[in-house]
Chains A and B, each alone.
Chain A
Amino acid sequence: MSRSTVTHQGGNSGNEASAALVEVCSVRLGETWFGVPITHILEIVGAARPQPVPLAPGYVGGLVHYRGDVLTTVSLRQLLSLPPKAGAQDILVLESAGGCFGLLVDSVGEVLTVSASDHEPNPSILDQRRKALFAGAYKLKDRLLVMLDPERLDPLLLSQAS
C-alpha cells in the first residue's frame, strides 16, 4: 500500500482549508472504491486469511489473530451480497463503540485527502441495505468514492439489525 503525498499542510496559512479537508483511506471491493475515514482506522493488516466460524451470521468474515487478541471480522463482500473472494484479503482494524473489529476488503488503496465540499449524501435510488451502510460519497475527479460509516459496520450492531 502506498501512501500518497498528502496535500494538506497543517501550517499557518491553511487553517480554514484544513477544517474542510478529510483524510480517507480508500479500499477496493471488486470494481468499486470505498472510503473509510482514517480517524477510525487503528491498523491495516495485509494478506490475512481469516478462520471461518461455523454457524456465525453471514456477514462475519471469520477470526484473525491480532495483537494477542482474537478479532472478529466483517466481510464487506457478504454485506453487499457479492460473491466471496478466494485467497487472502486485507483487513482494516476499526475502532467502534463496542470495541475493535476487522473489515475484510479485497485490497487497501491509498490515503486520499478530500474536501468536505465534494461530499454528497446517499442517492435516493440506493436499496435500503446499502443506504444503511453507506455515508454518502465524495466526488473525485475521475470517480466516486463511496464512504463507509465504521459505526454502522460494527458486528454487534449488524446482529441487532438482522
Chain B
Amino acid sequence: MDELTREFLIESQEGLDRMERCLTDLETRPQDAALLGEIFRSVHTIKGTTGFLGFKRLEKLAHAGENLLGLLRDGKLVADRPLITGLLQLLDGLRSILKTIETEASEGDGEDSRLIEELEALQAPAHVHQPARAHAGAHSASTAAPVAPPQSTVPSAPPQPAVVAVPAQPVNAHPAPAPEASAARAQPSPAPAAGTAAESTLRVDVILLNRMMNLVGELVLTRNQVLQATAADPNMTLLSRRLDMVTADLRESVMKARMQPVSNIFSKIPRIVRDLSQSLGRRVRLQVEGQDTELDKSQLEAIKDPLTHAVRNSLDHGIESPADRQAAGKDPEGTLKLRASHEGGHVVIEVSDDGAGIAVEKVRQKAIERGLITADRAAQLGERELLQLIFLPGFSTAAQVTNVSGRGVGMDVVRTNVEKIGGKVEIDSRAGKGTTLRLRIPLTLAIIPALIVRSVNQSFALPQGSLSELVHIPPELATNAIEWIEGAPLHRLRGKLLPLVFLDRMLMPAEEHRLITERDNFIAVLDADGRRFGLVVDGLADPEEIVVKPLSAVLKNIGLYSGATVLGNADLALILDPGAIAMKAGVTMSAREDSNDVEEELDANARGMDFLLVEVGGRRAAVPLADVLRIEQLPASRIEYIGYRPVLNFEGQLMPVDDSGGILPAAEADPDAKIIVVVCREGSRHVGIAVSHVLDVASGADLFEAGTSQRTGGVTLLKERVTGVVDLGSVPALPATETSTGQWNQIAETVA
C-alpha cells in the first residue's frame, strides 16, 4: 500500500471517528450548525480524496451521503431519529469499505446500492427544493472551505470565502471540545481545519514510542546503579543528583508522549448507548466527566473492551425499562455516568447507573445453581463477598440470555483484562439504587514501586500496590507470634487470624529451611484481589522503583512471577505476583470481609489507640500509627534546607522535616550517616519526623489529670511509661504547600 493511501486511511478513520461523536451529539442538538458542518466536512473530505485515489465505490457512497448532509447543513432537513440512523449506517458503510481497502488494498466488490437508495429516500422529506443548488454549492466549496453555519434567515447561504483559516464555530455551544483537543495533540487534523496544530504536531509510530519507553527504563536502571555506586562519594553528589533529575524529567516526558485522553475511548460510548437503548427499549441519559484525563496508549487499548462491556451490562442488567422505572417511582429516563479521574497514582474510571442494582439474593442463588460455590458456603457469605462472585468465570445473572450481554463471559473478562495491566476492579451496588463499577488503572505500566525482600538467598520484588503493612517477628518471639492449625501457619494481627505463606517453603518445597525460631521473620501483609495473607520472608531491603521486564514463556508458566527486574545493585530480582501466590497457597477470597474489619479497626485506632514508639534524641516519643505513611531510611545528605528549615526532595516533591530532636546537624557531619524519617500524614499534606530509632508499635492508654480526672492531651501511656505524642500540626508548612498538596498523594503510595 502506498504512503498516500495509508495517509488517506488514517485521516479518514479520524474523520469518521469525529463524525460518530458528532452524530450522537446531534441527536440532542439537531439544529447545531457546527455539528452539521463537522459531519459534512468529514464525508466531504473522504469523497474529495477518494475521487483522486480512484476508489469509485467509496466515492459513490460518500457522494450519496454528502448530498443528504448538504441538505441538512443548509437547514432543508431536520436531523430526526431515522435520519441519524441513516447517517450512522452511512458511517458503518464507509468504515467497512475503508477496512477492506486496508486489508485487501482494494475496495472489494460489495454492493452499496441499497444503502445509497436509503440515503436518497431520506432526502425526500425535504420536499422543498431538490438538492441541486445546495450541493452544487457544496461542490464549489473546495476541501479548503470550512463550512459556515447557515444563517436561518437565508436558507441557502453561499459558502463563505475559502480563506478562513479556522473553521467557524459557535462561541457558546462548542460541540465536543475533547475530541478536538485530542486530534490536535497527536494527529494533524484534516488539512483545511487547523494549520497551526498540524505544524506543531507529528505522527509517531507507537513502536518507536515503545522503544523509547524501554530505553528510558534502561536509563532508570542505570541511574539507580549510578546512584548506589556513588552514594558514598561526595564529589559525585551534584552530578548524580543532576542525573537523577534529568532521568526523572525524561521519563516523564516520554510517558507523556504516550498519553492519550480517555475521550479516545469514551467517544465510542455514546453510539453504543444509543444503539443499545434503542434495541432494549430503555431511555438513557449519558453523562461523561473527566474526558481529558490521560492514560498510556496501551492501557487505553486494554480497557476499551472492559469499558464497553461494563456499559453494556449497565444498560442490559442495570437500567430498567421506562415503565418499570416509573413504577418504582424513578425518572423514566435512566442515567449512565462515565467518569474518569486521577486518584493517587491511579486513574479511576467509573461506570455508574441508577438502575435496579444487583440483587444479592439472586447472585447467591445463581452461584449455587451454577455450582460455583456450595450452598453452605453461600449461606455464610456477606453482601460484599456475594457481589464479588459476579467476577467468577461462568457467572451471569441475566434471566434471559440476550445478544447484548449475559453470555456468561461477562465480568470475569472485565476483571482479567484490567488485572492484566495491573489494575483493579471494584463493584458497589445497592438494590433499587444502582450499580457502580470502578476500574482502577495504574498510571504507568513499565515502572512500578516495589519493596525488595529476601528469601532463599535471593532478592525478590514485591509490588507496593498490594502491600498493606509489614510485621517483624524476631526469632525469640516466633513461637508465640506464629500459631498453627493442623500445619497451617497463622498470625494474630490485631486480634484477627492472618493466614501465612512462607516464601522459602513455597519456592523450594524440597529443601530444609531454617526454623522460624532461628531467624528473623518478616510478614508482608498482602491484599491481592481480596485475598489477604501474610507472606513470610527472611529479610527486607529498600523500596525501589523497578522497571518491569517480561519473562520468557517458560518462566511465565511457573505462574508465581509477573516479571523480572534489575536492581540498583545490578542484581536481578524476580517480581512476585501476590495474586498467584495466594492462589497457589489456597488463600481464598473469603478473607475480604476480614480486611474490611481490619480497616474499620484501623479507623478506631485513629482515635488514638495505637502509636509508633520512636526515640528522638534520647527521648521517647509517640506518633499516632494511623498517621504514619511509611518509614524511610536515607543518607543524611538527602536532607536539604530552605533557609534553616530541613526538607526532603522526592523527585521534585518537597516535604518538610521536623527535627525537634536535633538529629540532623549531628548526622550531617558524617558523610555516610543514615537518618530515619517517619513520613506522616497531617491533614492533606505529608510531613517527615527525623528520629533516632523506631522502637515499637504499641497501644496507648489514656491518662487523666490528678484531681480533675480530665483526659490529658499530648501524652499517652505507652508500655507503662508516660510518652509525649508528636504534634504533627506544629510542623510549619512549606511556602507553596497550598498548591502542591494534590501532588503529595502521588508519592504517598504507601505501606500505611
Q: How far is the CB of B193 from chain A (nearest CB, A)?
A: 41
| List of A residues within 8 angstroms of B555 by Cβ | 53, 56, 60, 63, 72
CB atoms of B560 and A155 under 8 A apart: no
Compute how far the CA of A71 lies from the CA of B507 in the bound complex, rounded to whole angstroms: 20
| List of A residues within 8 angstroms of B565 by Cβ | 70
CB atoms of B456 and A155 under 8 A apart: no
CB atoms of A51 and B554 under 8 A apart: no
| List of A residues within 8 angstroms of B153 by Cβ | none
| List of A residues within 8 angstroms of B551 by Cβ | 70, 72
Q: How far is the CB of A59 from chain B (nearest CB, A)?
A: 9
Compute how far the CA of A158 lies from the CA of B561 in the bound complex, rounded to whole angstroms: 20
A residues 81-121 touching B (CB-CB < 8 Å) = 98-99, 101
**Which of A64, A70, A155 interacts with B554 by CB under 8 Å?**
A155
* Any A CB within 8 A of the CB of B191: no
CB atoms of B458 and A60 under 8 A apart: no
Known contacts A51-B571, A65-B570: A101-B552 contact under CB 8 Å: yes
| List of A residues within 8 angstroms of B566 by Cβ | 65, 70
CB atoms of B507 and A156 under 8 A apart: no
- Please tell me the number of chain B residues within 8 Å of chain A, measured between CB atoms: 28
**Which of A54, A64, A70 interacts with B507 by CB under 8 Å?**
A54
Compute how far the CA of A98 lies from the CA of B552 in the bound complex, rounded to whole angstroms: 9
CB atoms of A63 and B572 under 8 A apart: yes
Write the A42-59 contact mask toward B (1 if CB under 8 angstroms, else 0). 000000000111111100
* Any A CB within 8 A of the CB of B564: yes
* Any B CB within 8 A of the CB of A159: yes
Instruction: Across the A-B interface, give the 6 residue pairs with the lowest CB-CB distance, nearest first.
Output: A54-B507, A72-B552, A51-B572, A70-B549, A70-B564, A155-B554
Known contacts A63-B572, A65-B570, A68-B217: A55-B554 contact under CB 8 Å: no
Known contacts A52-B458, A98-B553: A70-B214 contact under CB 8 Å: no
What is the chain A residue whose CB lies nearest that of B459?
A51
Q: How far is the CB of B423 from chain A (nearest CB, A)?
A: 23
* Any A CB within 8 A of the CB of B709: no
* Any B CB within 8 A of the CB of A142: no
Known contacts A63-B572, A70-B572, A72-B554: A55-B560 contact under CB 8 Å: yes
* Any B CB within 8 A of the CB of A69: yes
What is the chain A residue whose CB lies nearest that of B460?
A54
Q: How far is the CB of B517 from chain A (nearest CB, A)?
A: 23
CB atoms of B572 and A54 under 8 A apart: no
Compute how far the CA of A159 lies from the CA of B555 in the bound complex, rounded to whole angstroms: 10
Among A52, A70, A71, the most chain B Cβ lie within 10 Å of the Cβ of: A70
B residues 536-572 touching A (CB-CB < 8 Å) = 549-555, 557-558, 560-561, 563-566, 570-572
| List of B residues within 8 angstroms of A70 by Cβ | 549-551, 563-566, 572
Known contacts A51-B458, A63-B564: A56-B558 contact under CB 8 Å: yes
Among A54, A69, A71, the most chain B Cβ lie within 10 Å of the Cβ of: A54
What is the chain A residue whose CB lies nearest that of B509?
A55
| List of A residues within 8 angstroms of B4 by Cβ | none
Q: Could you name 10 residue pairs across A and B whose Cβ atoms are closer than 8 Å?
A: A51-B458, A54-B507, A55-B558, A68-B215, A68-B218, A68-B549, A70-B551, A70-B565, A72-B552, A156-B553
What is the chain B residue whose CB lies nearest that of A65?
B566
| List of B residues within 8 angstroms of A53 by Cβ | 555, 558, 561, 574
* Any A CB within 8 A of the CB of B508: yes
What is the chain A residue whose CB lies nearest that of B565?
A70
| List of A residues within 8 angstroms of B550 by Cβ | 70
Compute how far the CA of A54 lies from the CA of B459 in the bound complex, rounded to whole angstroms: 12
| List of A residues within 8 angstroms of B564 by Cβ | 63, 70
Q: How far is the CB of A132 from chain B (nearest CB, A)?
A: 17
CB atoms of B554 and A60 under 8 A apart: yes
| List of B residues within 8 angstroms of A101 by Cβ | 552
| List of B residues within 8 angstroms of A68 by Cβ | 214-215, 217-218, 549
- B interface residues (Cβ-Cβ under 8 A, vs A): 214-215, 217-218, 456, 458, 507-508, 549-555, 557-558, 560-561, 563-566, 570-574
Known: A70-B565, A99-B552. 6 other contacts (CB 8 A): A53-B555, A56-B554, A57-B554, A70-B564, A70-B566, A156-B552
Q: How far is the CB of A67 from chain B (nearest CB, A)?
A: 9
Compute how far the CA of A12 lies from the CA of B570 in the bound complex, rounded to whole angstroms: 49
Compute how far the CA of A91 lies from the CA of B218 in the bound complex, rounded to whole angstroms: 21
Compute how far the CA of A155 lies from the CA of B558 in the bound complex, rounded to whole angstroms: 13
What is the chain B residue whose CB lies nearest that of A63?
B572
CB atoms of B554 and A159 under 8 A apart: yes
Q: How far is the CB of B425 from chain A (nearest CB, A)?
A: 29
What is the chain A residue whose CB lies nearest that of B566?
A65
Q: How far is the CB of B644 from chain A (nearest CB, A)?
A: 44
Compute how far the CA of A1 lies from the CA of B489 in the bound complex, rounded to whole angstroms: 52
| List of A residues within 8 angstroms of B573 by Cβ | 51
| List of B residues within 8 angstroms of A65 by Cβ | 566, 570, 572
Compute how far the CA of A115 lies from the CA of B584 in the bound complex, rounded to whole angstroms: 53
Compute how far the CA of A117 lies from the CA of B701 in the bound complex, rounded to whole angstroms: 90
| List of B residues within 8 angstroms of A57 by Cβ | 554
Compute how far the CA of A156 lies from the CA of B571 in the bound complex, rounded to whole angstroms: 25
| List of A residues within 8 angstroms of B574 by Cβ | 51, 53, 63
Q: How far is the CB of B563 from chain A (nearest CB, A)?
A: 8
What is the chain B residue whose CB lies nearest that of A158?
B554
| List of B residues within 8 angstroms of A69 by Cβ | 549
| List of A residues within 8 angstroms of B552 by Cβ | 71-72, 98-99, 101, 155-156
| List of B residues within 8 angstroms of A60 by Cβ | 554-555
Among A51, A99, A101, the most chain B Cβ lie within 10 Å of the Cβ of: A51
A residues 129-162 touching B (CB-CB < 8 Å) = 155-156, 158-159
Compute how far the CA of A158 lies from the CA of B215 in the bound complex, rounded to whole angstroms: 31
**Which of B217, B508, B554 interacts with A54 by CB under 8 Å?**
B508
Compute how far the CA of A64 lies from the CA of B167 in the bound complex, rounded to whole angstroms: 57
What is the chain A residue whose CB lies nearest that of B551?
A70
Q: How far is the CB of B251 from chain A (nearest CB, A)?
A: 15
Compute how far the CA of A51 lies from the CA of B507 in the bound complex, rounded to whole angstroms: 14
Compute how far the CA of A51 lies from the CA of B567 in the bound complex, rounded to whole angstroms: 12
| List of A residues within 8 angstroms of B554 by Cβ | 56-57, 60, 72, 155-156, 158-159
Among A52, A55, A72, A158, the most chain B Cβ lie within 10 Å of the Cβ of: A55
| List of A residues within 8 angstroms of B456 by Cβ | 54
Compute how far the CA of A71 lies from the CA of B549 in the bound complex, rounded to whole angstroms: 10
What is the chain B residue whose CB lies nearest that of A71?
B552
Compute how far the CA of A155 lies from the CA of B551 in the bound complex, rounded to whole angstroms: 12
| List of B residues within 8 angstroms of A155 by Cβ | 552-554
Compute how far the CA of A60 lies from the CA of B565 in the bound complex, rounded to whole angstroms: 18
Q: How far is the CB of B225 from chain A (nearest CB, A)?
A: 11
What is the chain B residue whose CB lies nearest that of A60?
B554
Q: How far is the CB of A116 from chain B (nearest CB, A)?
A: 33
Compute how far the CA of A51 lies from the CA of B457 in the bound complex, rounded to whole angstroms: 11
Compute how far the CA of A99 lies from the CA of B556 in the bound complex, rounded to whole angstroms: 15
What is the chain B residue whose CB lies nearest that of A160?
B554
Q: How far is the CB of B510 from chain A (nearest CB, A)?
A: 10
Q: How far is the CB of A69 from chain B (nearest CB, A)?
A: 6
Compute how far the CA of A69 lies from the CA of B566 in the bound complex, rounded to whole angstroms: 9
Compute how far the CA of A72 lies from the CA of B558 in the bound complex, rounded to whole angstroms: 13
| List of A residues within 8 angstroms of B560 by Cβ | 55
Among B214, B555, B566, the most chain A Cβ lie within 10 Å of the Cβ of: B555
Q: How far is the CB of B89 from chain A (nearest CB, A)?
A: 45
What is the chain B residue whose CB lies nearest that of A68?
B218
